Amino acid sequence: MSTPSRPSKDFLIALGALLAAPVAAAALIWLQSTPQEREACTLLIQSHPSSVVTTGAVLLASLAFALRWAFVRYIEPMRKLVEEVELIGTANPGYRLNLGEKGDVAHLGKVINAAAERLEQAQATLDAKIREANAIFEKERNSLAALIEQLSEGVILCASEGQILLYNRRARDLLAGPSENAGTDANASVRFGLGRSIFPLVDRQLFQETLDAAALDGQDLSTPRTTKFLMRARAGEILEVRASTVREQKGPPAGFVLLLSDITGRVARDDQQHAVISSLREELRRSLPPLKAAAETLNAFSALDSESQNRLRSVIQQETMAIAEAYAKILKTDQDLRDGHWRFERVSVSVLLSLFKRRAEQTIEVELLAGDSELNLAADSQELIEVFTHLARAIKDESGITALRATCSRKDSFIAIDFEWTGPAVPQGVLSAWESHPIEVPSSWGPTTLGEVLKRHGGSAWVEADERGSHLRLLFPESRGGQAHSIKPPGRELGGGGSFDFALPISNAGTTLREDARLTDLAYTAFDTETTGLNPTGGDQIISVGAVRIVNGRVLKEESFNQLVDPLRSITREATSIHGIEHHMVAGKPRIESVLPAFHSFASGTVLVAHNGDFDMRFIQMKEQAAGVQFEGPLLDTLLLSAVVHPNQEDQSLEEIARRLGVPLSGRHTALGDAIITGEVFLKLVGLLKERGIVTLGGAISASKRVPFSGIRY
Amino acid sequence: MVGRRVLLVDSQANMTFALELLFAQHGFKRRVSRTGEQALAMRQEVPPDCVVLATELPFRSGFEVCEILRPRPGSSHAMMIMFPSTGTEAECVTAASFGADARLFWPILTAELIRTAHTLLELPA
């Protein structure tokens, strides 16, 4: 156990009181004694002055020593003890006292540690039971979160004033992009996050009318108002956005949900289709009138001279050729469009046939013959399987068979799918009649026919019979690959980009920065900087800014800011030894003048949090003018807040506080790593401040101001 | 009937060629123009009795030409027959508002064109 560097005020008061006692006693005896006694006493002092002074001095010194001993051994350890025991009871149950090996206080420490151990065990058992109980709820919550995260559509839930309450990765990708290395202020990612307004990114005017209408709906909860509009995404994609109002209870809507779909591909294909149609229309428009006029003139006048007749025939020839060319062009584009059609996916033919076998099980026995396993079709697989099944049933009814063999093979640029059976062939006329059979496909918009599905897939069908039996052949163009579009899920690991906060009350998002705002309601930006050295006025510069947002009592690691900065000067060796950043790593990175505005936007509307924030702010303030921004908002310093809750702990370094509060240390001495640790430490401190009755922003700021700086190490 | 002058205006050579032959068979004197501009110039040289023009022409549309040539009180004028280039409904309505004496449907029926010309010029069918 270390000794305090100097005696405390309490010790000096006690010492004064202790030394005053014998003096006061002597004065009292003196006042109450008779003149003879006083004379005898004076005589005694006069005859032995040195002995009396020595005795008095020894007496006072031993009293002072005894008091110091008692303070060092009992009183001061006791005070630390109180703080540390409180820590065990609140922020860090795993914390253990270390009061040395010898002495009564050390013994007390061991007793308390043992009690804490039992408490922690009991707590652990209880926690385990609670965890178990929560597991089911958690699982459901996680499934919902996973579901939202994996959607190919972007989802954003907002409170009525636009604050984002929930979003998935897709939404973030489409609207803002990753915030890492945001670079400059122009990057939308610095303004995207939980608790922030969606309106800078999605124009409110586009659906204001719907919100207004919903506000007038009053009591009717059954029908949410919905509207649809188009907008451009961050990277220029065309987004179809569906906005629906959300209600929690009776009254005006509590918020709205935005569903974002990227329809760029669909629009491009629509455009392509439209272009094909217009070029065909143009061709027909140009060619048909002269063709018709020439043909009519040729027919009407049999007596025309041969020269005129020949020229009219040549007109007919030319225009017919032009129409034929247009037709050839449309055929070619048709296949391209089919390959890229949003409902079509690239499917393996062998997989398609296995699915057909399972689907047709109830109707007919299907044997799959080994075919080419490398064949792919651009197809709506549901529709094709339905067509196969329908055909199998029709063949069964027509030919009275119970088993079919199915196989596939390549025929030039086509894929042949053959259904073979032993029995009478189906007449071609009957097959033609089947093509008008209605087919019901769940994924389709409406009823369709077998022929239409075939046509849509560019396919054709016919029947052949030979000595081995009969077979129905379906011919489809092979998918040329590369072009194949299917709905692609994001396919990355879960929880890396989206943010869910089911606990965020829909009505309590975005508390404004006021002194009386509760600490638990505010949003924060915990940040840290790395620098070229320790002296901002001597020209040292920021080389890295890391920050993370804290909303609703959670450090949102997915909403972070991490940017290296080119300091345009060298980095001292001492600094590099701390943060490991060397000159070549920052050369060519954005300059602080462009990074500060981005960081300013990232931190807007939040309270800044930093460890020994004065240090970072001095560097930032040096550059505020050049960057054209000013950080005027409040700053909470974890160094000072820790001193508020633990005034008797000498070590207030971030590392030590983190250890004390049970915050895991990872990524230390990178700006972002330290910012995250600072954020976690801050959240623990908010809990401890509450124990001391400090619950508002103003309370935390004024408590920080009262902290004496002396004796604090950082 | 002999000697009636028709001015055929369309940018497509094949079309005007077929129409030229058609009108020749019916005894008209024909002139052909590829553009609206040229048509206006030709009409100054030799005023036609009848103008058959497409709605879509390079530089100056058939509508513009029609408006310039439209009948004015007290002056002799040519009969205007417009035939649509695209066949949309809007085109037909527009042709009427620009003062065409007759308009045809797309694609034109040669027999109807001749019949219309005869009717407008009060010639025996």
Residue A470: which CATH number? Answer: 3.30.565.10
* CB pair distance less than 8 Å for A315 and B19: no
Q: Is the pLDDT score of A491 beyond 60?
A: no
Chain A residues with CB under 8 Å of B18 CB are 290, 293-294, 297, 312, 315
User: What integer pLDDT is reported at residue B1 of this predicted model?
Assistant: 46
State whether A366 and A336 are in the same domain: no
State whether A321 and A355 are in the same domain: no
User: What integer pLDDT is reported at residue A494 of this predicted model?
Assistant: 34
Q: Is the pLDDT score of A180 beyond 80?
A: no
Tell me, yes or no, whether A486 lies in a domain.
no
User: What integer pLDDT is reported at residue B9 of this predicted model?
Assistant: 93
Structure tokens at B54: 């497409």
State whether A419 and A321 are in the same domain: no
Radius of gyration for the alpha carbons in chain A, expressed in angstroms and rounded: 42
* CB pair distance less than 8 Å for B25 and A289: no
* Residue that the structure tokens 């940017």 belong to: A563
Give which of A291, A297, A318 to mutate to test B binding, by max B Cβ within 10 Å: A297
State whether A94 and A37 are in the same domain: yes
Min Cα–Cα distance to chain B from A337, Å: 26
Chain B residues with CB under 8 Å of A286 CB are 12
Chain B residues with CB under 8 Å of A304 CB are 21, 25
B16 alpha-carbon distance from chain centroid = 11
With an 8 Å Cβ cutoff, the interface of chain B facing chain A consists of 12, 14-15, 17-19, 21-22, 25, 83, 85-87, 106-111
Closest by Cβ to A293, choosing from B86, B87, B108: B108
User: What integer pLDDT is reported at residue B71 of this predicted model?
Assistant: 65
User: What integer pLDDT is reported at residue A680 of this predicted model?
Assistant: 94
Q: Name the DSSP class of A82.
A: H
Pairwise CA distance, residues A518 & A686, whole Å:
10
Last residue of one domain, picked from the residues A142, A166, A197: A142
User: What integer pLDDT is reported at residue A134 of this predicted model?
Assistant: 82
pLDDT digits over A377-428, tens only?
A: 888 888 888 889 989 999 988 888 889 999 998 887 788 899 999 888 888 7
List for chain B the helix, strand, coil content (%; round to 5).
40, 20, 40
Q: Share the mean pLDDT of chain B.
A: 83
Packing angle of the helix pair A9-32, A49-70 (nearest 10 deg): 140
C-alpha distances (whole Å) from A165 to each of A162, A201, A499, A605 are: 9, 15, 9, 16
Q: Is the pLDDT score of A682 beyond 50?
A: yes
User: What integer pLDDT is reported at residue A338 of this predicted model?
Assistant: 66
pLDDT digits over A140-176, tens only?
A: 777 777 777 778 889 998 888 888 888 888 888 888 8
Q: Which chain B residue has its CA at the smallest distance from A294's CA? A: B18
Closest by Cβ to B14, choosing from A294, A296, A304: A294
User: What integer pLDDT is reported at residue A677 of this predicted model?
Assistant: 94
Q: Is the pLDDT score of A83 beyond 50?
A: yes
Give which of A278, A279, A286, A296 to mutate to test B binding, by max B Cβ within 10 Å: A296
Q: Is the pLDDT score of A303 beyond 70?
A: yes
Tell me, yes or no, whether A497 lies in a domain.
no
Q: Is the pLDDT score of B79 beyond 90?
A: no
Closest C-alpha to A218, from A252, A255, A256, A247: A252
Query: What fold is seen in the domain B5-120?
Result: Rossmann fold (3.40.50)
* CB pair distance less than 8 Å for A289 and B111: no
Pairwise CA distance, residues A323 & A319, whole Å:
6
Phi, psi values for residue A434, rounded to 5°: -60, -30
Q: How confident is the model at residue A668 (pLDDT cuts 50, 70, 90)?
A: confident
User: What integer pLDDT is reported at residue A511 of this predicted model?
Assistant: 61
Taking phi first (over 0 means left), then psi (-120 to 50 degrees means alpha), and beta for anything else, what does residue A631 get? beta
Q: Which chain A residue has its CA at the smallest distance from B88's CA? A: A285
What percent of chain A stands above pLDDT 70? 88
Q: How many helices (H) and strands (E) does chain B have?
A: 5, 5
Tell me, yes or no, whether A652 lies in a domain.
yes
State whether A119 and A7 are in the same domain: yes
Chain B residues with CB under 8 Å of A318 CB are 14
* CB pair distance less than 8 Å for B17 and A315: yes
Pairwise CA distance, residues A353 & A366, whole Å:
9
Residue spans of the domains in chain B: they are 5-120
A23 touches chain B (CB under 8 A): no
* Sequence-ordered alpha helix ranges (H) in A33-103: 35-47, 49-70, 76-89
User: What integer pLDDT is reported at residue A482 of this predicted model?
Assistant: 43
State whether A394 and A286 are in the same domain: no
User: What integer pLDDT is reported at residue A204 of this predicted model?
Assistant: 86
Q: How confident is the model at residue A103 (pLDDT cuts 50, 70, 90)?
A: confident
State whether A443 and A586 are in the same domain: no
Q: Within a 13 Å sphere around the CA of A157, how many CA atoms are in the beta-carbon half?
A: 21
Tell me, yes or no, whether A465 lies in a domain.
yes
For residues B53 and B32, the answer to whether their CB atoms sit within 8 Å is no
For residues A77 and A1, the answer to whether their CB atoms sit within 8 Å is yes
User: What integer pLDDT is reported at residue B6 of this predicted model?
Assistant: 93
Return the beta strands (E) in A396-535 as ranges: 403-411, 414-421, 438-439, 448-449, 460-466, 469-477, 524-531
Min Cα–Cα distance to chain B from A229, Å: 29
User: What integer pLDDT is reported at residue A490 of this predicted model?
Assistant: 33
State whether A538 and A681 are in the same domain: yes
Q: Is the pLDDT score of A290 beyond 50?
A: yes
Give which of A315, A316, A319 to mutate to test B binding, by max B Cβ within 10 Å: A315
Q: Share the mean pLDDT of chain A.
A: 82
Q: How many Å from the N-terminal Cα to the C-terminal Cα in chain B? A: 10
State whether A108 and A58 are in the same domain: yes
Q: Is the pLDDT score of A513 beyond 80?
A: no
Which structural domain, as residue segments, surrounds residue A314? Answer: 279-340
User: What integer pLDDT is reported at residue A350 of this predicted model?
Assistant: 86
* CB pair distance less than 8 Å for B25 and A294: no
Chain B residues with CB under 8 Å of A294 CB are 14, 17-18
Closest by Cβ to B14, choosing from A290, A296, A304: A290
Strand partners, A379: A345
pLDDT digits over A108-130, tens only?
A: 888 888 888 888 888 889 888 88
Closest by Cβ to B22, choosing from A286, A289, A293: A293
Closest by Cβ to A289, choosing from B21, B25, B107: B107
**pTM for the full predicted model:** 0.55
Pairwise CA distance, residues B56 & A285, whole Å:
11
Min Cα–Cα distance to chain A from B76, Å: 30
For chain A, what is the domain count? 4
User: What integer pLDDT is reported at residue A507 of this predicted model?
Assistant: 46
Closest by Cβ to B15, choosing from A289, A300, A308: A289
Lowest-pLDDT range of A569-583, A629-643, B65-79: B65-79
* CB pair distance less than 8 Å for A312 and B21: yes
State whether A422 and A445 are in the same domain: yes
User: What integer pLDDT is reported at residue A679 of this predicted model?
Assistant: 95
Chain B residues with CB under 8 Å of A308 CB are 21
Lowest-pLDDT range of A13-17, A132-136, A497-501, A509-513: A497-501
User: What integer pLDDT is reported at residue A487 of this predicted model?
Assistant: 32
Q: 3-state class of A544 per DSSP?
A: strand
**Residue with more model confidence, A481 or A42:** A42
State whether A587 and A696 are in the same domain: yes
State whether A3 and A96 are in the same domain: yes
A698 touches chain B (CB under 8 A): no
* CB pair distance less than 8 Å for B21 and A297: yes
Tell me, yes or no, whether A458 lies in a domain.
yes
For residues A441 and A382, the answer to whether their CB atoms sit within 8 Å is yes
